[in-house]
Structure 1
Amino acid sequence: MTKSRAVIVGASHAGAQLAASLRQEKWDGEIILIGNESALPYQRPPLSKAYLAGKNTLEDLAIRSAEFYAKQDIQLQDATVDAIDRPAGQLALSNGESLRYDKLALCLGARARRLPAPGADLAGVFYLRTAADVELIREAAATARRAVIVGGGYIGLETAASLRALGLDVTVLEATERVLERVTAPEVSAFFDRIHREEGVVVRTGALVQALTGDAQVREVVLTSGENISADIVIIGIGVEPNVELAAAAGLVVDNGILIDSHARTSDPDIVAAGDCASQDIARYGRRIRLESVSSAGEQAKVAAAAMCDKPKEIAALPWFWSDQYDLKLQIAGLNTGYDEVILSGDPARDRDFTCFYLRDGELIAADCVNRPRDFMFSKRVITQRTPVLREELVGQSVR
């Protein structure tokens, strides 16, 4: 009798966790984990931080060892999937082979958004998404003096900190009026702007890129203002786009990601999805969203594995995120969507630690905690349990 086969497409955080969780949920059939990088599944958040700064190796970043996959009888396959034939339960691989599945998991991740400007394909222009990307950046940085980073989000600022650690002169260009504008309150943006300037980074806001120029190698970034900024290397960090083409071509419902329900199931009951490619409704925040974080990828993967084993569970964990820059660890609990009030504990204009609490109708819905792990744990608990808190408690939270 042929064993049931679970195929996971995407050897990401979500893919690696899903494979492990299938065994924990007592899946006794085959498990095939397909990835298009030759390395073992690895942690991606350190890529723009410790890995770029040369503080660890790719082996250090492996999520699990080769021995783990062998012991759990999880087959790793280096391949690319070109198409899903849902009626036949078959995958078409780029090498011309086909692969049968009984249950399918899509952990396709996301790709770096490309800069739509002339010269973006010049040598010396990089995106940061994979270990291979970082290795190319490190190699170029070894002989570079001036780096320009396009994008003042988390990836851009983390990369700026890492390149400063490597001794480069760094300029950050942000198109909006403040760094981290899409994800934080003005007070938090001002804090990170101050820190980076103190660390020697030139931060330019309201800076729109018109073109990149050079012969074969990038030499300057031209702004719409007409200003030219010299550059030996340019790193583009303007967000990501979910990899949904494979799912869309197979007829799955896609809406800013592969749409999943609370059990991580797609519109096909035999196919689940998890990670940066997945879009879910979060009732607590009244919106559909893709949660680009390791913690959410892991939570979705565990729920997806349970669904594949016909043991449905619900995605319930509070979203949380983090960012490392210099000696700072930012930990974020919850989503600040729709906040109408912020309360600060500490002084972000002077200190290197503080917390920004986000409230909506008097209820704590999110918190940005810089070098304050106790505030982060407190916030996760209060937000999850929806515990009422007094504003005075939040102001004095760090000294309780």
Structure 2
Amino acid sequence: MSGGTVIVGASLAGLRVAEALRAGGYTGRLRLVGEEHHLPYDRPPLSKQVLTGEWHAARTALTTSAKLTEAGIETVLGARAVAVDDEAVTLADGGRLDYDRLVVATGAAARTWPGAAPEGRVHRLRTLADGVRLRAALEAGGPLVVVGGGFIGLEVAAAGRASGLDVTVVEAASTPLEPVLGPAIGACFTRLHRAHGVRVLTGVPITAIEESAGAVAVRLADGTELSAAHVVVGIGAEPNNAWLSGLGLDDAAGVPCDARGRAGDRVWALGDVAAWEQPGHRDAVRHEHWTSAVDQAAVVAAALLGREPARPMAPPYFWSTQYEVNFQLVGRPDLATSVEVLEAGEDGADRGTVFALADPAGRRVAVAAFHNPRRFLRLRRELQEESAAAVTPS
């Protein structure tokens, strides 16, 4: 039997490629390989609705066994890819999956604190199991310390407050999200969380996290010691591509791909693990966004089918809901060197504020908004048109 197409990574990106291939008329063998035992599920709710208890974990499911069987998509679950060569993927149990074409969608792994016990009181949040375990921890009560003021950390902090916990966020930078969005936008998040009773400590690195019976001690460089029932570490993620060393695709920055996801002869990659070329900016970037995974899946499926994509890639888009505020971001904030307020919030408050982020040449590269969906939608369309024009040959 032909190896057909093997998709390693049974999450959103991998599933959408498989579905698009079948919808596009692909009739070959199609296998979806996942390290977890769960069928593909949606990750954004893990730090939002699942943590707050609004959703049961089962609601995150993206498909069913019946739908996959009907589409002729074979699943190989609970199977971790550990190596690959030009002919096959090797699994942790020693099994090998031959392939004619390989799609890599293995995502990224959340960094954790060195020495943290896997099932202890120091948590990370990346998988469904992580989300279920952390939800149980929030329900158990007790002070919560969040290490890292990125989006995951701040969403966990908001969920902790919704559960009535005493919450402290510790961020080494001068404001949360400063490395991503700059101090002005980061300051808005600081005010938002402090207004809801979160203690936000910034500009002080952590020197140690030590777990003991029933508690965790978090020690800061200035001598402060925080005591918590649980600690959540949200200090970023790293691409899951070490297993691709046999193909030379284990770059620490992610699997290097062209603008259509091609990583090599018969190999494509997408989602959090992949660094795609950005024609409009002449660089390659990993976009850890839900919408990027969906958009890239359509492009990769078209490439595998020998067709042109139905539409060009849109600028990366991201959203975060914290308390009653919905924050939206589109574009490339990593290219920005300046931030301008396009529209001030109502009554001098942050809610309703819209920001434009520009590069050194003054070109708008991103737009962000605090709960201002109408204005944001117009600006998002403008940025999409500008991005499309930048990559269209004159």
Q: TM-score, normalised by structure 1?
A: 0.90
CA drift at 1:122: 8.3
CA drift at 1:312: 4.7
1:119 to 1:134, Cα distance in 2 relative to 1, 3 A: closer
In the alignment, is the contact (CA less than 8 A) between 1:363 and 1:386 conserved in 2?
A: no
Alignment of 1:252 onto 2:249:
yes
Alignment of 1:220 onto 2:217:
yes
CA deviations 1:201-242 (Å, max 9, x no partner) are: 000001211112343444311111111111110000000011
Alignment of 1:369 onto 2:346:
no
Alignment of 1:296 onto 2:292:
yes
Decide which of 336, 347, 355 is 1:338's aligned counterpart: 336
CA drift at 1:114: 2.2
SS in 1 for 2:179: coil
Distance 1:253 1:45 in 2: 26
Distance 1:174 1:341 in 2: 21
Alignment of 1:108 onto 2:99:
no
SS in 2 for 1:296: helix
Distance 2:3 2:131 in 1: 38
Distance 1:340 1:353 in 2: 20
- Structure 1 unaligned blocks of 5 or more: 388-400
Tell me the amino acid that sits aligned with residue 270 of structure 1: R
Alignment of 1:195 onto 2:205:
no
Distance 1:230 1:317 in 2: 44
Distance 1:341 1:195 in 2: 19
SS in 2 for 1:197: helix
CA deviations 1:320-366 (Å, max 9, x no partner) are: 11111111111111112134351331238514222111234443321
In the alignment, is the contact (CA less than 8 A) between 2:271 and 2:288 conserved in 1?
A: yes
How many residues get paired? 382
Distance 2:211 2:270 in 1: 41
Matches within 5 A, 1:12-161: 12-78=11-77, 79-86=79-86, 89-116=87-114, 123-161=120-158
SS in 1 for 2:354: strand
CA drift at 1:265: 0.5
SS in 2 for 1:383: helix
Tell me the amino acid that sits aligned with residue 202 of structure 1: R
Deviates more, 1:56-65 or 1:102-111: 56-65
Distance 1:244 1:223 in 2: 33
In the alignment, is the contact (CA less than 8 A) between 2:3 and 2:98 conserved in 1?
A: no
Distance 2:378 2:4 in 1: 42
Alignment of 1:169 onto 2:161:
no
In the alignment, is the contact (CA less than 8 A) between 2:319 and 2:329 conserved in 1?
A: yes
Q: Which has the higher helix share?
A: 2
In the alignment, is the contact (CA less than 8 A) between 2:82 and 2:243 conserved in 1?
A: yes
Distance 2:320 2:301 in 1: 28
Tell me the amino acid that sits aligned with residue 38 of structure 1: H
Could you tell me which residue of structure 1 aligns to residue 345 of structure 2? 347
In the alignment, is the contact (CA less than 8 A) between 1:357 and 1:366 conserved in 2?
A: yes
Percent identity among equivalent residues? Answer: 36
- Structure 2 unaligned blocks of 5 or more: 388-394
Q: TM-score, normalised by structure 2?
A: 0.91
Distance 1:119 1:228 in 2: 18
SS in 1 for 2:275: strand
Tell me the amino acid that sits aligned with residue 103 of structure 1: R
In the alignment, is the contact (CA less than 8 A) between 2:173 and 2:179 conserved in 1?
A: no
Deviates more, 1:3-12 or 1:48-57: 3-12
Alignment of 1:310 onto 2:306:
yes
1:282 to 1:107, Cα distance in 2 relative to 1, 3 A: same
CA drift at 1:123: 2.4
TM-align CA RMSD? 2.0
